Amino acid sequence: MKLLAVDTAAQGCGVALMESERLLAEILLVSRETHSLHLMGMIREVLARSKVPLASVDGFAVSLGPGSFTGLRIGISTLQGLAAALEKPLVGVATLEALAWQHPRPGSPVVVMMDARRGEVYGARFRFAAGSLVRETPDQVQDPLAAVRDVTQPCLFVGSGALLYRDLIEAALGEKACFVPDFQNQLRPSSVAWLGWRRLVEAAPAPLGDLRPIYVRKSDAEIHRGTAAGRLP
């Protein structure tokens, strides 16, 4: 099974192509430019370098968030269009879960923290047990210190939020806080592809129209609409 995966949840715009569990090609661009400028070109490049025509792709996977509202919509809508046109399945992958899978650490918790701006992070805690990833908390938006309040043992912190708030986390936890090198805080699209491949193998995908981003919190527009409504007489 050949599977094409896309991640546009944060600053990284990534595309990967896998055949079963074998990575054929992967491109990751970290940029402040909108992902819509590069995504289709990156998809064409990955397919060309792998010598795989788009029609030969058996399925698609996309990161669902949490993350950038605009970025998520770009990635999801692009793959929904391709999957619908080719009549191929599309599965969604939780962004924080995919990033946790990049850091197997048996016996110790892995806290994934992505910068959510406004002094907050998108966070979730996981643990590896018997070769599987166990989720301990749901995806949530929170103050960075809220993610460390109940940490009582050495814990690995990964993601852009862990990088941004490293000093604060170290001050709170001391030697119990462990970190990865800076470049390992970026989600790779091949992780999204691998999780997507597993899900396609294990269960039938949901209908294309049922795929929804994991936003966790309201958008700025929704917040402003609610504030304006509250001011009406």
Which residues neighbour 177 within 8 Å (Cβ) at sequence distance 6 or greater?
148, 151, 154, 155, 157, 169, 170
Distance of CA 46 to the CA centre of its chain: 20
How many angstroms separate the Cα of 111 from the Cα of each of 35, 42, 201?
Answer: 27, 30, 27
Kindly state the DSSP code that residue 190 receives in the 8-state scheme: H
- The tens digit of pLDDT for each residue in 160-211 reads 999 999 999 999 999 999 999 999 999 999 999 999 999 999 888 888 878 8
Q: Please tell me the pTM assigned to this model.
A: 0.90
Query: How many angstroms separate the CA atoms of 190 and 212, rounded?
Result: 21
- The tens digit of pLDDT for each residue in 6-27 reads 999 999 999 999 999 999 999 9
**Which domains are present in the chain?**
2-95+187-228 (3.30.420.40), 103-185 (3.30.420.40)
